[in-house]
Amino acid sequence: MNLGELALYSIVKIAILFPLVMLSVAYLTWLERKLLGRFQQRLGPHRVGPFGLLQPIADGVKLFFKEDIIPTNADRILFILAPVLSMACALMAIAVIPFGPSFQLFGYDLGRVQIADVNVGLLYIFGITSLSVYGVFLAGWSSGNKYSLLGALRSSAQIFSYELTLGLSVIIPLMAVGSLKMSGIVDSQADGFWNWWILSPKWLVIPGLLGFALYLISAFAETNRIPFDLPEAETELVAGYHLEYSSMKFAMFFMAEYVNMITAASIATTLFLGGWHSPLPLAPFTWFPGWFWFAAKVFVILFFFIWVRATFPRFRYDQLMHFGWKILLPLAMLNVFLAAVGLLLAG
Amino acid sequence: MISLNHYLILSAVLFSVGALGVLLRRNALIILMSVELMLNAANLAIVAFARYPFFREVGLAAEDLAVAGNGMVFVFLVMTVAAAEVGVGLAIIINLYRQRQTINIEIANLLQG
Amino acid sequence: MTSIQIPELSFSLIAPELILCTAAIVILLVDLYVKNVERINITLLALIGIVLAFFSAGTLYGASELAFSWLIIRDDMSVVIDQIFLIGAALIVLMSHHYSERYHFPYGEYIVLLLFSTLGMLIISASADLITLFLGVELVSITLFVLTGFEKKSLLSGEASLKYLLLGAFSSAFMVYGIAFIFGMCRTTNLISIGSLLSEDFIGSPLLILGFALLLVGLGFKIALAPFHMWAPDVYQGAPTPITAWIAAGSKLAGFIALVRVFSLPDISFHPLARTWVEGIWWLSLLTMIIGNAGALVQKDIKRMLAYSSIAHGGYLSMAFVSHNDVGLQALLFYLAAYLFMTIGAFAVVIAAGRHGEERRRISDFAGLAKRRPFLAAMMSLFLLSLAGMPPTAGFIGKVWLFGSAIQAQYYGLAIVGILTTLFSFYYYLRVIVYMYMRDEEKEFEAEPLSVSLTLALSLSALGVLILGVFPNTLMKVITNSVIVL
Amino acid sequence: MLSAIFFWMFASAACFFAFGVILARNPMHSAVSLVATLIALAGLFLQLHAEFLAWILIIVYTGAVMVLIIFVISLLNLHREEPINLTLARRFGITFVGIFGFMIFVYLFTDSLTGFVYPKKLPAPEEFGSAASLAADLFTRYLLPFELASILLTAAVIGAVVIARKPCEEEEPKE
């Protein structure tokens, strides 16, 4: 495959994946509202279209036609830059996620459903997510509003603190596979759910499970979801860092948040739940295509995210910091140690 | 074609921009940032040297590039040191701000001969 | 998965470093987990660690080995220097014990950082690779930035630590850039490999010279050579006095050892580089001697005066690099040891002459000290005379040796400037003595009574100055041997 | 060809934002410029096949160090412009003179090399700059510096905490 073909294939893949991701963002909001409604004994959106299915589109149109305000106190450049940065980081992280096995289009073999299989894929994801702090922070700072600033400070400190745990929690697949390449990690989990890293073989069960749990918890914090949604705690901070934003700029933050959720769920799927591999290498399971299994697993995790939102109250800020630094981080370090010992014992 | 020289000159430019920042600015934080810029310029030079092995001999073997890992380790350690330096530096700057309500090094200048 | 071959780890060769590191961590944990731990216990723990490290270093004489894949060189020179550093560290711990009682800063952390900075110095003295050298220098610098700012109620201390930090970081950037060019030209950061490369017919590109020059600039900042000395007086004045002493003695010593490692370990005497390098140092040395001594003449603050005196000493010491022979190196090592004792001693007197909340800072504050505290005045006179280079003291022997090496290498001009500036320096050293003995004090000022620890520090440094001055042979022999082995 | 385009793109971005760092009047703008410079540098690292280092640069510098700096900028409320004692034009002048001086210096030196053959870029071996090769180096030959770096970080953490802590509590005598 030469450079030109590679670029062409990547563009084709982007052209396929981008609308898909945006569509799933739209319907993730619908899903969340619908599920929250059910959890709270309500109906959720049901007026616009059947089951309220056209609600996200109506929301989008509404946001698009709202007035776009830039406060006089704001730092104009950064104020405009912030939502763009948020959105860009959220979308860029998707580039290395393998959604499915090789596929063909019009007779051409386009390779995996993955835009770029970078050698250091996992590091790439961490790098990009670490950049996403800036979107949030600059939004809060440039608004020239103290509530926004407080929200931004909280959020960046939070993301900062939980990033360490997030990084350490994925150590099992990393150490066992010995590669940072996403495709390599997925390939190592083929042929049945007992090969998934969440249920890693032999001595690795404990670090595998613990790693998955740590990953999920810190992913909640990274995506600013309840119970870690302090940056936008309505009761204290009005709305947090995006207080001053309206119209499409606000929509960008909103979408970035959901894209981040999808990314986090996809990474968990890829690293721990076998990616696009079917849970059993048997007949009825293998009939379904890879992307179906991927979507199913991501859906399960997203459902969990929403479930948690409906169930748990919000942390207090000092509790959040205490939990992150004094409980999760030591656990994550212990997990690294356990993983190393497990690998040694497993040979 | 991009050669080693291109990278070296770029790193020299960045390094001297950083150095000028240290000399021109009076805000302690910006001076610290300028120093970071200098350190990264130096890192760029090291990585460039590692990629373009510099030998007198005309024939170059691919093994020479393997030796270059050496430079990578150094860059890695420089980044660590820089991070430590920034951590300590910010603490010192915060301490100064608490004492004086300024971080301008011309205003905070009691120590004079 | 590729399996990793762990290379041979000869821990016994870095025993002093390991012991020191262990001591620091033990103190850290004790301070953390034991409630209300007495200050004296921490001091004792630190001293035990230092003494153990000292003796374990002593067992390493005659080792002469490269360890840790050529990152560490354990030769006699490194052992001598390690022991000098450890003596200095012990003296500083003793002084700090007294000083911290006066100002109540977090003592556990203070001692831990002090030990870590000593560790950095030991690493510098034993490094055979630019990477370890760089890390050692940074460990020393970063811990000293913090220690300088330890007196958090003092505006001077906070400001001094900021200045030290900004210039220290600035100079590190130069060091890194210099190392980058050296690495680029030699394809290695190992000093011994660089040495063997340079001793062949490897002419090298001018970039190599640029690399060494930048490295010199970086280290020049750390040891306050003349155009890069401007941070020194401010930092010396603002830092807590024991830390001032440690910056003046330990950090400067470490910087010189780093220079020795960089410029003497690789045998570059035949290389065209050597000429450029000697010329550069010649100017730096000259400038440093003149500026240091001239600056010291006009100072009113005792710590600033000692700062300029220490800059001037940097000038004398760098003369050894100009002469670039074995004698120079030996003289350098001897003078460094002597300098350590007299500087630490002088600062110890400055501490002893003060009391809580009030220090004798100005030189005029020392008026009449001889009547009130004759012991302190006598000690101060001893250290100042030694700094000036008067005969019965260590300073005299060191200076003679140093100037002798310059004359032997036929750098007469530099030697003459050295002697002339030394004569000038008598003025400001003697001025303090005159104040102490011949002036009456302006206002009543009773210093704190001497504590055991400070008395110990004072008398040990005085002993060091006198022994090295009267019986220099022992140390001379050790040093001469170690340099020949090299 | 493609690599040349990338080089010029990243190099010019790095230069542009480097100037931004030292010329911006608002510290926050300086910091954001530095972030942009570092991202451009990471791009250059990628061009040089130092993949691992490029992402480490992003994660460590932009993700941690710069966030910390930005944090402090907003904590200290440094919106106000600092008094500037040089006109902007003069600053530009000094800056350009300095840079061109140094550039010419380096350029002359590198070009007047005697006995050197200009290094050609070789196809990098598979493991060049990869995480695995760096890790193998770091944990075998460079084990000692690695441990030293950890000591350095410990010392820095202790120091930073002691210095940045509020001064009231520990100044009291410990008894």
From first to last of its 347 residues, chain A has per-residue pLDDT tens of: 567 777 888 888 888 888 888 888 888 988 888 888 888 888 888 888 888 888 888 888 888 888 888 888 888 888 888 899 989 998 888 888 888 887 777 767 777 777 777 788 888 888 888 888 888 888 888 887 888 888 888 888 888 888 888 888 888 888 888 888 888 888 888 777 777 877 776 677 788 888 899 999 998 888 888 777 766 666 666 677 777 787 788 888 888 889 999 999 999 998 888 888 888 877 777 778 888 888 999 999 999 998 888 888 888 888 888 888 999 999 999 988 988 888 888 76
Contact residues on chain D for C39, CB-CB shorter than 8 A: 174
> Is the confidence at residue C281, as pLDDT, over 90?
no
DSSP, collapsed to helix, strand or coil, labels residue C449 as: coil
CA distance, residue D72 to nearest chain A CA (Å)? 10
Binary contact (C68, D139; C-beta < 8 A): no
Binary contact (D173, C107; C-beta < 8 A): no
CA atoms in the 13 A half-sphere facing the CB of C393: 24
Nearest residue of B to residue D14, measured between CA atoms: B14
Binary contact (D131, A120; C-beta < 8 A): yes
> Is the confidence at residue D84, as pLDDT, over 60?
no
Q: Residue B81 is part of which domain span?
A: 4-100
Write the pLDDT tens digit of every residue in D103-137. Answer: 666 665 655 554 444 555 556 666 677 777 888 88
Q: What pLDDT sits at residue D115?
A: 43
The domain that holds B53 is classified in CATH as 1.10.287.3510
Tell me the whole-structure pTM to 2 decimals.
Answer: 0.91
Per-residue confidence band for B86, with pLDDT thresholds at 50, 70 and 90: very high
Q: What pLDDT sits at residue B23?
A: 80
Chain B meets chain C (3+ C-beta pairs below 8 A): yes
Q: Is residue B33 part of a domain?
A: yes
Q: Is residue B109 part of a domain?
A: no
Total domain count, chain B = 1
Per-residue confidence band for C25, with pLDDT thresholds at 50, 70 and 90: very high
Report, as an integer, the average pLDDT of C37-57: 91
Binary contact (B56, D15; C-beta < 8 A): no
Report the mean per-residue pLDDT for chain B.
Answer: 80
CA distance, residue D10 to nearest chain B CA (Å)? 10
Q: What pLDDT sits at residue A329?
A: 92
Chain C meets chain D (3+ C-beta pairs below 8 A): yes
User: Dihedrals φ, ψ of C362, to 5°?
Assistant: -85, 155
Report, as an integer, the average pLDDT of C129-152: 92
Chain B meets chain A (3+ C-beta pairs below 8 A): no
B45 touches chain D (CB under 8 A): no
Residues 6+ apart with CB under 8 A from C456: C94
Residue from D6, D12, D22 to probe the interface with B (highest B Cβ count within 10 Å)? D22
Q: What pLDDT sits at residue C198?
A: 74
DSSP, collapsed to helix, strand or coil, labels residue C335 as: helix
Which DSSP string do the residues of A9-68 spell out, in sequence order? Answer: HHHHHHHHHHHHHHHHHHHHHHHHHHHHHHHTTS--S-SSSGGGTTHHHHHHHHHHTS--
Show which of residues 173-192 on chain A sit within 8 Å of chain D, judged by CB atoms.
178, 180
Q: Is residue B112 part of a domain?
A: no
Radius of gyration of chain B (CA): 19
Lowest mean pLDDT among A36-40, A310-314, C377-381, C479-483: C479-483
Angle between helices A290-311 and A205-222 in degrees, nearest 10: 70
Per-residue confidence band for C413, with pLDDT thresholds at 50, 70 and 90: confident
Write the pLDDT tens digit of every residue in B29-48. Answer: 999 999 999 999 999 999 98
Q: What pLDDT sits at residue A149?
A: 84
Residue from C38, C102, C116 to probe the interface with D (highest D Cβ count within 10 Å)? C116
Structure tokens at D79: 């919106």
Please give the Cα distance from C59 to C15 (Å, whole number). Answer: 10
User: Residue D155: which of C106, C113, C161 has the nearest Cβ?
Assistant: C113
Q: What pLDDT sits at residue D167?
A: 62
ipTM: 0.90
Nearest residue of C to residue B112, measured between CA atoms: C234
Residue from A5, A124, A131, A155 to probe the interface with D (highest D Cβ count within 10 Å)? A131
Please give the Cα distance from C348 to C346 (Å, whole number). Answer: 5
Q: What pLDDT sits at residue C269?
A: 58
Write the pLDDT tens digit of every residue in C306-318. Answer: 999 999 999 999 8
Is the Cβ–Cβ distance between D34 and B37 less than 8 Å?
Answer: yes
Is the Cβ–Cβ distance between D110 and B3 less than 8 Å?
Answer: no
A10 touches chain D (CB under 8 A): no
Nearest residue of D to residue A120, measured between CA atoms: D52
Is the Cβ–Cβ distance between C7 and C69 less than 8 Å?
Answer: yes
Q: Is residue B95 part of a domain?
A: yes
Binary contact (B95, C158; C-beta < 8 A): yes
Domains of chain C, by residue range, sit at: 11-485
Q: What pLDDT sits at residue D175?
A: 34
Binary contact (B3, D7; C-beta < 8 A): no
Report the mean per-residue pLDDT for chain C.
Answer: 86
B25 touches chain D (CB under 8 A): yes
D28 touches chain A (CB under 8 A): yes
> Is the confidence at residue C138, as pLDDT, over 80?
yes
User: Dihedrals φ, ψ of B96, to 5°?
Assistant: -65, -40
Q: Is residue B111 part of a domain?
A: no
Q: What pLDDT sits at residue C486?
A: 45
Neighbours of chain B (3+ CB pairs under 8 A): C, D
Per-residue confidence band for C346, with pLDDT thresholds at 50, 70 and 90: very high
Contact residues on chain D for B88, CB-CB shorter than 8 A: 156, 159-160, 163
Is the Cβ–Cβ distance between A330 and A317 less than 8 Å?
Answer: no
Report, as an integer, the average pLDDT of B14-21: 87
CA distance, residue D44 to nearest chain C CA (Å)? 17
Q: Is residue B39 part of a domain?
A: yes
Write the pLDDT tens digit of every residue in C166-199. Answer: 999 999 999 999 999 888 877 788 888 777 777 6
